[in-house]
Structure 1
Amino acid sequence: MSDSTSGSWAEIFTPRYATVTLILCLGVALFAFNAFLASVALPTAVQQLGGIALISWALTLYLVFAIMGGAGAALLKQRLGSRTALLVSSAVFLVGTLIAANASTMTEVLIGRSFQGLGEGVVAAICFALIPELFPSRLVPKVFGMQAVIWAVAAFGGPVGAGLLTELVSWRAAFLINVPLVLIFATMVMFKVPGRDNVPGLNPGFPGVRLLTIGAGIMLVALAGISTPLVATGLLAVAAILLVGAVALDARSRVRLMPDGAFRPNSTVGSGLWVVLLMPIAGATSAVYLVLLVQQLWGYGPTLAGAVGAVMAVAWSLSAITVANVRQRETRKVLIRTGPALIAIGMAGVLIGLLAGQIVIVLVAQLAIGAGFGISNGYLNLTLMEASSDNDRDRTSALLPTTQSAGNAIGAALAGVAANTAGYASAVTTDAIHLAIIPVFVLGAAVAGLAFVAALRTTSFMTTGATASSFAAE
């Protein structure tokens, strides 16, 4: 489709698109809210149920199963059709929510969180896959802009809402709030999402080996984040072997989970997926440690420290909205390249601000990091969707949120290894903390630099001709 015209923001809320816009935003909202729920509600749950040693696994298992679900989402969509796949995955998420909310032990909570992750991983991935199917390409950046807003609201409202429900009602209510949301989502899907769209006669089977390999790799990454530096290094090495092996195995499979040439730097899609992976790896550095650091170094309370951390989410949303009307191809290329560069600059700025004791520098750097994600994320996703063949577009679209989640997990683990190796856990003086965090933020800036190189390569392919395919007709 041509991008010669640019739709207004109001168009995604017209009768033609309003319902599907709401469906996609609600699907993302379920994922975003639950990403913040565990850290707020589960400490109270642990006090009632015991099993404090298992609390970190509530997030770990949710993430691992979400990535596994996302990896298989395109195949599930092809096999069952969009509507059935979303309804089934919503049911899985609902079952997990009910198990966790009614748990009598932490083990049951973990089982529920695993089901939640599996269901929501599929929901989020299929919602991404539906974007090029249900919207013309000129509206896609606005849809991603709305999703950025959802994440910003979740970053603020998720912890606050879960905290209020936990304090005023119970931690179980923080889980049960998902029930009406997922029922509304499922009802809307039933009436508005296209039905069966699979290839007749196709029986792809179950890609169990590939999904288990991906799950095992992400599990090892998560374990690395809570291990000693030496053990963590070994776990990350094995995880890298497993994940690379999963990509290689998928490339040789008759029915693939990933698009053709995934992560091979010789195409727009291949190199672009590296940008999608590397940017959240870089961003995780600030996301994991900044809130804690401003409390340790400057004595900020939890609320004020959380506000400093949330500046990035606000900048992400505002910048995504600001650039959503860009139509020129050359400008989009500039935005894709500039995003990782801003993240690298922002990481360096956060470090400088922390070392100098200047909150203004930290806030400006946080704005740069958020803007880096906001100005580039939507157009990077759009570029990968447009560059994919008709047969591969579902796989590419569904792989985007999965790759971002994997990047967040890998980034958190790498940041933990860097911090622990530098002695952050035992640092008690300001000088010792300063020395320990230098490699953490240097790592984040370096990874963002690699993302910039991958972005240069991705946009270089955009100059060679038109996209491989077009989106839905207007």
Structure 2
Amino acid sequence: MSADVEGRWAEIFGPKYLAATIILCLGVALLAFNAFLSSTALPTAVNELDGVELIAWATTLYLVFAIVGGAGAVMVKQRLGSRWALIAMAVVFLIGTLVAASAGTMSQVLIGRAIQGLGEGVVAALCFALIPELFPNRLVPKVFGMQAVIWAIAAFGGPAGAGALTEFVSWRAAFLVNVPFVVVFCLMVALVVPNSAASDTRSGFPGVRLLAIGGGILLVAIASVLPAPQAFGLVGVAILALIFAIWLDRRSASPLTPSGAFWSNTALGPGFWVVLLMPVAGAVTAVYLVMLLQQLWGFGPTLAGAVGAVMAVAWSLSSVAVANVRKRSTRAVLIRLGPVFLAIGISGVLCGLIFTLPPLLIVSQLLIGMGFGMSNGYIMLTLIETTSDAERDRTSALIPTTQSAGNAIGAAIAGLAANTAGYAVATTKEEVLTAIIPLFATGSIIAAIAAMTALAMVRRVAPAPILGEAQVAEAA
């Protein structure tokens, strides 16, 4: 079989797909760079604006509104069409950026971050929805691999660039870096994305569902900073709110999610649980590792950040390395192994910290990154391929929204586990190490559950060849 049929890396950068690749990379870059730019610039901003106690809310509100935006992305596309939906929500993101960058009070920063999150949530979801529209299935793994590379570049370049801008110019300049990204993105969308007509279908605004989703995630975030009894009660209320949102969506004539997501006898049932649970588990190291390296090993911020970024590099390299896999059996193995590597890696990081073994910690970080990189693209591709054409937009848009929800829930669960174990009041290295054991154990258990769910997912994928005769003839 020819390389053309299999798909080559050069194709996504060739004349036919280059513009689409640039658009999707810019859409991911808006999210990736903004995450690292803002996290680096915010400490200086809150000190200047006397809002240190509100710094966590700058991230929490961003994530909550991003999840709400992602949940409503398909509705926005139906009403405006792909091109104008992307441009309009990129402008919303730009407005949020300008509000935050010009802030005179911390309240204004929070408002700007919320607007940023709403715009970026829709943009990210629609970019995912465009992948099966703009690329054939044989190139989709390479598109996901390219997106992983963007995240790795952001992980290294974002903090360094934002740090330099904040130190030598202003924290406001670090926010304003988003402006040229948005301008170029809008121009490329106007030139390349098809001007699909808005849908004739008109349904009521899903305000109750979006409120329940956003409120549920927000309650989980609040729970992470409360004492254990109140925190567990709030988590229970949050779970009920999210279940209520899903129940309402199942009964709606215009659902926000594809039928079968999270529960069904198809791959969509367990598949979306894998998409959710892996970032929930990974949040343990994402939130705490850099801080722990400084507390326990005396690393400076730069060295600790570099060790933390090893995971992102491994994610990108492994994603690129497996992008040429065509056999469904091999893809199924990668999907099953991803959460297993994640569970082993989280446990290895804990052992590395306890026994002061930097090589073990580095190898474990590599395993965590490889766990995400080897499986992420094929989990997403399987979900897209399993969905009917009528619901493909909903499936594609729900993937980044679910990942964002996983990151938010994971950070909250990690905070709850750490605080319940006494991490916040630990003063000695021994006390810190004792407190983080339940934290990492929680992450490992969640990753193990994701591994079992991934096994159920691949068992429910209908066996079929990667390329049929008609597809081969068309590709050739």
TM-score bracket for this pair, using the shorter chain length? over 0.9
Structure-2 separation of matches of 1:111 and 1:430: 38
- Letter in structure 1 aligned against 2:355: A
Q: Secondary structure at the match of 2:315?
A: helix
Amino acid paired to 1:358: L
Structure 1 segment 213-224 matched on structure 2, within 5 A = 213-224=212-223
Report if aligned partners of 2:27, 2:123 keep a CA contact under 8 Å in 1: yes
Residue range with higher mean Cα deviation, 221-230 or 120-129: 221-230
Q: 1:320-350: per-residue Cα shift (whole Å, max 9, x none)?
A: 0000000011000000000000001111111
Q: Distance in 1 between matches of 2:392 and 2:202?
A: 19
- Aligned-residue RMSD, C-alpha: 1.8
Rounded Cα–Cα distance in structure 2 between residues aligned with 1:235 and 1:197:
43
For residues 256-275 of structure 1, what are the structure 2 equivalents within 5 Å?
256-275=255-274
1:355 aligns with 2:354: yes
Deviation at 1:37, TM superposition (A): 2.3
Q: What is residue 57 of structure 2 aligned with on the other side?
A: 57
2:284 pairs with 1:285: yes
Report the residue type matching 1:388 in the other structure: T
Question: Is residue 2:373 matched to residue 1:345?
Answer: no
Q: How far apart in 2 are the matches of 1:435 and 1:203? A: 56
Alignment check: 8 A CA contact 1:217 1:238 kept: yes
User: Which residue identity is paired with 1:16?
Assistant: K
Distance 1:463 1:333 in 2: 12
Is residue 282–residue 444 contact of structure 1 (8 Å, CA) maintained in 2? yes
CA distance in 2, matches of 1:292, 1:265: 40
- Residue identity in the other structure for 2:201: L
1:351 alignment partner AA: L
Paired with 1:152 and 1:47, the residues of 2 have a C-alpha distance of 29
- The number of residue pairs the alignment matches comes to 470
Counterpart amino acid of residue 378 in structure 1:
G
What is the CA–CA distance in structure 1 between the aligned matches of 2:264 and 2:361, rounded to whole Å? 34
Name the CA distance, whole Å, in 2 between partners of 1:300 and 1:338: 32
CA distance in 1, matches of 2:201, 2:123: 22
Task: Name the amino acid aligned to 1:425.
Answer: A
Alignment partner, residue 48 of structure 1: 48
The whole-number CA distance in structure 1 between the counterparts of 2:113 and 2:351 is 38
Q: Residue 424 of structure 2 aligns with which residue?
A: 425
Q: 3-state SS of the aligned residue for 2:152?
A: helix
Aligned counterparts of 2:229 and 2:151: Cα–Cα separation in 1: 35
- The C-alpha deviation readout for 1:416-463, integer Å capped at 9, x for no partner, is 111111111111222211211111111111101111111011100124
Which residue is 2:252 aligned to? 253
Q: 1:337 is matched by which residue type in structure 2? A: R
In 1, Cα distance between equivalents of 2:392 and 2:464:
18
Greater CA deviation, 107-116 or 427-436? 427-436
Contact 1:275–1:454 under 8 Å retained in 2:
yes
User: In the alignment, does 2:189 pair up with 1:175?
Assistant: no
**Aligned partner of 2:319: which letter?**
A
**What residue in structure 1 maps to residue 394 of structure 2?**
395
Contact 2:38 2:175 in 1 (8 A): no
Deviation of 1:177 after TM superposition, in Å, equals: 1.0
- Mapped partners of 2:215, 2:433: distance in 1: 34
Task: Output the CA distance in 1 between the equivalents of 2:385 and 2:238.
Answer: 31
Note closer, same or farther for the CA distance 1:328–1:464 as it changes in structure 2 (3 Å cut): closer
Shift of 1:317: 0.3
Moved more, 115-124 or 257-266: 257-266
Secondary structure of 1:5's aligned partner: helix
CA contact (8 A) 1:67 1:121 kept: yes
Structure-2 residue corresponding to 1:88: 88
- CA shift for structure 1 position 51: 2.1
Query: Aligned residue for 2:413?
Result: 414
Displacement, 1:192?
0.4
What's 2:8 paired with? Answer: 8
**What is aligned with 2:295?**
296
Partner of 2:275: 276
2:109 aligned residue: 109
Mark the runs of 5 or more structure 1 residues left unpaired by the alignment: none
CA contact (8 A) 2:68 2:210 kept: yes
Query: Residue 440 of structure 2 corresponds to which residue in structure 1?
Result: 441
Q: CA deviation at 1:223?
A: 1.1
Does the 8 Å contact 2:74/2:256 carry over to 1? yes
Look up the equivalent residue of 2:427 and give its one-letter code: V
Tell me how far 1:197 sits from its aligned partner: 4.2
* Shift in CA distance, 22/374, structure 1 to aligned 2, threshold 3 Å: same
- TM-superposed deviation, 1:296: 1.0
Residues 419 and 425, structure 1, Cα contact 8 Å, conserved in 2: yes
Q: TM-score, normalising length from structure 1? A: 0.96
Match of 1:320 in 2: 319
Amino acid at match of 1:116: Q
CA distance in 1, matches of 2:332, 2:10: 25
Deviation track 1:379-433 (CA, whole Å, cap 9, x = no partner) reads: 0000000000111110000010110010011111111111111111111222211
Deviation at 1:228, TM superposition (A): 2.0
Instruction: Return the offset for 1:231.
Output: 2.1
In 1, the alpha carbon distance for the partners of 2:222 and 2:73 equals: 25
Runs of 4+ in 1 over 6 A off after TM superposition: none
Match of 1:369 in 2: 368
SS of match in other structure, 2:253? coil
Cα distance per residue 1:359-384 (max 9 Å; x no partner): 11111011000000000000000000
Structure 2: distance between partners of 1:162 and 1:226: 28
CA distance in 2, matches of 1:441, 1:380: 25
The reply on whether 1:146 has 2:136 as its aligned counterpart is no
Structure 2 residue runs of 5 or longer lacking an equivalent are none
* Superimposed CA distance per residue, residues 65-90 of structure 1 (whole angstroms, 9 cap, x where no aligned partner): 00000001112112211101001101
Matched, 1:244 2:243: yes
Query: Is residue 465 of structure 2 the alignment partner of residue 455 of structure 1?
Result: no
Counterpart of 1:22 in structure 2: which amino acid? I
C-alpha separation in 2, matches of 1:462 and 1:433? 44
Shift of 1:271: 1.1
Aligned residue identity for 1:32: A
Contact kept, 8 Å, 2:336 with 2:454, in 1: the verdict is yes
| 1:1-53: CA deviation from partner (whole Å, max 9, x where unpaired) | x9993111111000110011000000100011111222211222223222222
Distance in structure 2 (CA, Å) of the matches to 1:325 and 1:346: 25
**TM-score, L = length of structure 2:** 0.96
Secondary structure, aligned partner of 1:205: coil
